[in-house]
Amino acid sequence: ISSVFDPLGLISPIIIKLKIIMQRLWQVNTSWDAALLSDIEKDWIDSRRKMIDLNILAINMSIVGDGEIADIQLEGFSDSSATAYGAFLYLRLVNINGKCTTNLICSKSRIAPLKTVSIPRLELLVAVLLARLASKYAPCLRLPIKRTFYWSDLMVVLAWIASQSSKWKTFVANRVGEIHDRTSIHEWNHNGPEWLLSDPSNWPKNNKNIISCEKVIAESKTTSYANVTTTNDSDESYFNLYSSLTKLIRVTAYCRRFVRNALSKCSNRSYGPILANEYDAANLCIIKQVQTIYFYKEISDLRDSNLVHCKSSLRHLNPFIDENNLIRVGGRLKNASTLDTFQRHPIVLPAKTMLASVRERYWPLNGRNIARTIAHQCVKCFRYRSIVVQPIKGDLPKVRVEPSRAGSSTRGPPCHNMRPAITFEIKHSSGLKKYHKDSEASIKAIIYYSYIIAQKIAAKSKPFTDGVTVARRIEELGTDIESTLKERISKFIFYSLALDESTDLSDTAQLAIFVRGIDSNFNITEELAALFPMKGTTKSCNIFNALISTLNLFDIKLNNLSGVLKDGAPSMVGKNEGHVALIKKEMSTCGALQLMQYHCIIHRENLCAKSVGFQTIMKDVVKIVNFIRSRALNHREFKNFPSEIDAEQGDKHIEAISDLKHQFKFSDFKANETYFNLFSIPFSLPVEDVPEIMQMDIIDLQNNKVLKEKYNNVELSIFYSKYINTETYPNLRNN
């Protein structure tokens, strides 16, 4: 069967009989070498005998015919039985003389599925097969087909196709939907092809009243309706069953335990007296139920938008929903860690609800007026409440009502209290006594003192309201510092940057940019270059633009940038779009040096200290580490320190220092360890670890005993600036 090559299905009526026989063999589970049943064997012999007639079958491959064609129509037919179904396409041609001819284009047949399917559904399957056949082969004809007709002999299928697919059950709806996608509803007709050669006016007409057929209605989708009735039960009878809140909570706790035990295994059930956690859970359950009754609208608003309606009684409390789905007061005590959660964010209770110790844990609405009303109605409280007589107040003193010079009071602004102290300090300063006596009446001394006062006021961060002189002096000091910094930066041969972004008290992001550079004489300058306010977002591109603006302000080029110190924020350390990545991209365009990047050690230490909780110890450790690493001489003396004490204690110190060394050896410093050792220990560094371009300079340096002695007696900066010159060691000095 599979070896027959019939792509157009021209002999499908014969092949389908063989397929039916094969299906019957599958149904009876016949083995390949077993004898056939008598009826199957008879059908097989009969079909094989009829297949001999295929040798004399002749099919005209020309479907258009001769003569001039006046009208071309595509006709499709479908039919089914209990065992198989098939679809056929015909081309109907009418020439200019009115002669009509029909030719078979193609056909497709299939056997019925093993699962029993009704005849209407089989007819629907063959209708789908016809639609697929027409949509596949009709475009391949490339003929001006004026009209297309699809014919079916079952009214039920036509009724399904004439209606919307969503009206029927899934089996029918899916196939009707596919038919609608591939064909038009008006192209489907009823009855067979005997009249196909006659005039179209004589063709059978469709019956419009086909929707009421019982078989059609049987495939209609059944619609189920469920009526749900909801009630807003605001009955508080449960809370009024007990006069004691404690008893109400305990009863609720026992009820909750009963439900939990009923749903749990025997090993997980609870018995005995109510535990503290069960008591608290029952209390929260009661409060949640009360809030649900009185604040159901506010709960819905908070879950949707975190805001309550402008007419809600909770609008001034800044409420929020906690992890237990309870409404709490927002307030401004979020950072008051010494207070209990119920004191920082009390639970909201409706009006006319009073509980014991209310103000410590809850926030009843209108609670003050309710307490005042209850106290006013209490007879015993009225008896013991004494009437307080307010005495007539005396006259205000003269200094309180008479106008006087601003700042004359001893409790005036801070700047007036500072003036005597600053003036006394300036006059009695040992470095200024002589200058003050010799030039007391000169303008130069007055201007000089004005700058000293402005500098001290600015250092104290105090306001000053007497005129604009101090403000002008502070601005001039700032301008002078900026110009001095520009002059020093212009002499840098290499420099590095440290960036840190944080938020101030006004919720404005501030980007601090520090610059550290070295000139040709090994003079190191480290200053705060800029404090850049980030008004909008703080993405990597915003930080990069702020950095470029600062570099342009000081006329700094990226060519000499050697390192960047950063924190661990994603905007800083992003691999492709991080701030450091953007700097590397910009440096690659101008042929700059290789950029070294480091994660701030102090930043890591602070994070560690906050998490572990030993801030006091970390402060001392940071001071010790900074002192040791501030000067090369301190570092060398610290390394020789264990050898100066006894051997036993020395071994312990060496082990402890070794452990600290491994703990503080981060990956980014490890990657550049060769360059650090090249600068700090050039005489003990193996030559093979040095970059090839500087190996000859290191060999000459290590063989120079005079320089080795100078290295052991002076600081590193003095050693490199004074004894390592460009002529003798050009590569080492320039790198």
DSSP per residue over 630-684, as a string?
H-HHHHHHHHHHHHHS-HHHHHHHHHHHHHHHHHT--HHHHHTHHHHHHHH-TTT
Any domain includes 461: no
Same domain, yes or no: 129 and 171:
yes
User: Which residues does 553 contact at the CB level (< 8 Å), separation at least 6?
Assistant: 530
Q: Beginning with the edge strand found earlier in the chain, give each strand of the sheet holding 188-190 in spatial order.
A: 100-111, 84-95, 69-80, 147-152, 188-190
Mean pLDDT of 391-405: 70
Any domain includes 563: yes
How far is residue 653's CA from residue 640's CA, in Å, rounded to a whole number?
11
Angle at 570 between CA 566 and CA 573, to 5 degrees: 45
Specify the pairing of strand 69-80 against strand 84-95: antiparallel
Note whether 603 and 638 are within 8 A (CB).
Answer: no
How far is residue 684's CA from residue 540's CA, in Å, rounded to a whole number?
41
**CA nearest to 602, candidates 638, 567, 573, 630:** 567
Per-residue pLDDT reduced to its tens digit, 25-47: 888 888 878 888 888 888 888 88
Same domain, yes or no: 559 and 531:
yes
Cα-based distances in Å from 537 to 213, 508, 543: 69, 10, 9
Computed on alpha carbons and rounded to an integer, the radius of gyration of the chain in Å comes to: 49
Give the pLDDT of residue 667.
58
Please give the DSSP secondary-structure letter assigned to residue 53: G
Helix (H) or strand (E) holding 87: strand 84-95
Same domain, yes or no: 174 and 261:
no
Note whether 162 and 125 are within 8 A (CB).
Answer: no
Q: Taking 70 as the threshold, does the pLDDT of residue 195 lie above it?
A: no
Residue type, 701: L
Give the pLDDT of residue 660.
53
Same domain, yes or no: 30 and 137:
no
User: Which residues does 236 contact at the CB level (< 8 Å), separation at least 6?
Assistant: 293
Q: Which of 327-341, 393-407, 578-592, 649-663 has the highest mean pLDDT?
A: 327-341
Q: Taking 80 as the threshold, does the pLDDT of residue 329 lie above it?
A: yes
b/e per residue 390-405 (b: at least 16 CB within 10 A): eeeeeeeeeeeeeeee
User: Which residues does 680 contact at the CB level (< 8 Å), separation at least 6?
Assistant: 632, 635, 716
Mean pLDDT of 257-280: 89
Look at 8-12, 109-113, 203-207, 714-718 and tell me which has the smallest mean pLDDT.
203-207
Note whether 130 and 87 are within 8 A (CB).
Answer: yes
Sign of the dihedral through C-alpha 639, 643, 649, 655:
positive
Residue type, 306: N
Note whether 190 and 152 are within 8 A (CB).
Answer: yes
Any domain includes 675: yes
Q: Which of 366-370, 598-602, 659-663 has the highest mean pLDDT?
A: 366-370
Note whether 328 and 320 are within 8 A (CB).
Answer: yes
**CA nearest to 73, candidates 97, 36, 102:** 102
Cα-based distances in Å from 419 to 19, 452, 455, 468: 113, 12, 13, 16
Token pair for 667: 């990956």
Same domain, yes or no: 553 and 504:
yes
Q: Which of 176, 202, 228 is the last residue of a domain?
A: 202
Three-state DSSP class for residue 586: helix
Sign of the dihedral through C-alpha 11, 13, 17, 20:
positive
Note whether 104 and 62 are within 8 A (CB).
Answer: no
Q: Beginning with the edge strand found earlier in the chain, give each strand of the sheet holding 347-349 in spatial order.
A: 320-321, 327-328, 347-349, 362-364
How far is residue 716's CA from residue 688's CA, in Å, rounded to a whole number?
23
Placement of tokens 């190996």 in the chain: 695
Mean pLDDT of 140-157: 86
Note whether 22 and 84 are within 8 A (CB).
Answer: no
Same domain, yes or no: 625 and 539:
no
Same domain, yes or no: 624 and 690:
no
Any domain includes 368: no
Query: In this predicted model, which residue has the larger pLDDT, 319 or 343?
Result: 319
How far is residue 676's CA from residue 635's CA, in Å, rounded to a whole number?
14
How far is residue 657's CA from residue 635's CA, in Å, rounded to a whole number?
13
Note whether 1 and 19 are within 8 A (CB).
Answer: yes
Q: Taking 80 as the threshold, does the pLDDT of residue 82 lie above it?
A: yes
Same domain, yes or no: 346 and 291:
yes
Any domain includes 694: yes
Per-residue pLDDT reduced to its tens digit, 598-629: 776 666 666 666 665 556 666 777 788 878 87
Residues of the chain above pLDDT 70, percent: 72
Note whether 94 and 71 are within 8 A (CB).
Answer: yes
Helix (H) or strand (E) holding 362: strand 362-364
Q: Where are the beta strands (DSSP E) in 486-609?
A: 494-503, 509-518, 524-534, 561-566, 596-599
Q: Which of 321, 352, 383 is the last residue of a domain?
A: 352
Residue type, 115: K
pTM, rounded to two decimals: 0.35
Q: Taking 60 as the threshold, does the pLDDT of residue 61 lie above it?
A: yes
b/e per residue 510-549 (b: at least 16 CB within 10 A): ebebebbbbbeebeebeeebbebebeeebbbebbbebbee
Three-state DSSP class for residue 56: helix
| Cα 511 to chain centroid, rounded | 24
User: Which residues does 56 contact at the CB level (< 8 Å), separation at least 6?
Assistant: none
Cα-based distances in Å from 654 to 364, 618, 637, 670: 64, 21, 14, 21
Same domain, yes or no: 660 and 672:
no
Same domain, yes or no: 259 and 180:
no
pLDDT category at 436 given cuts 50, 70, 90 is very low
Any idea how long the chain is? 735
Note whether 190 and 228 are within 8 A (CB).
Answer: no
Note whether 349 and 355 are within 8 A (CB).
Answer: yes
- Mean of the per-residue pLDDT values of the chain: 75
Same domain, yes or no: 704 and 632:
no
**CA nearest to 184, candidates 131, 115, 248, 257:** 131
Placement of tokens 């190191």 in the chain: 524
Any domain includes 685: yes
Cα-based distances in Å from 162 to 173, 205, 351: 12, 15, 64
Three-state DSSP class for residue 220: strand
Please give the DSSP secondary-structure letter assigned to residue 216: H
CATH number for the domain that contains residue 129:
3.10.20.370
Same domain, yes or no: 490 and 592:
yes
Query: In this predicted model, which residue has the larger pLDDT, 159 or 447?
Result: 159
Please give the DSSP secondary-structure letter assigned to residue 37: P
Q: Distance between the two ends of the chain, CA-based, in angstroms?
A: 84
Please give the DSSP secondary-structure letter assigned to residue 593: P
Note whether 84 and 18 are within 8 A (CB).
Answer: no
Cα-based distances in Å from 81 to 10, 53, 551: 19, 25, 87
Q: Where are the beta strands (DSSP E) in 21-83?
A: 69-80
* Domain total of the chain: 6
pLDDT category at 698 given cuts 50, 70, 90 is confident
Token pair for 202: 């004589």
Any domain includes 399: no
CATH number for the domain that contains residue 542:
3.30.420
Give the pLDDT of residue 33.
80
One-character DSSP codes across 391-422: PPP-PPPHHHHS---TT-STTS-HHHHHHHHH
Full domain range(s) for residue 568: 476-606
Mean pLDDT of 205-214: 53
Mean pLDDT of 166-173: 86
Q: Which of 606, 628, 648 is the last residue of a domain?
A: 606
Residues of the chain above pLDDT 90, percent: 2
Any domain includes 61: no
Note whether 511 and 543 are within 8 A (CB).
Answer: yes
Query: In this predicted model, which residue has the larger pLDDT, 228 or 474?
Result: 474
Three-state DSSP class for residue 79: strand
How far is residue 159's CA from residue 171's CA, in Å, rounded to a whole number?
15
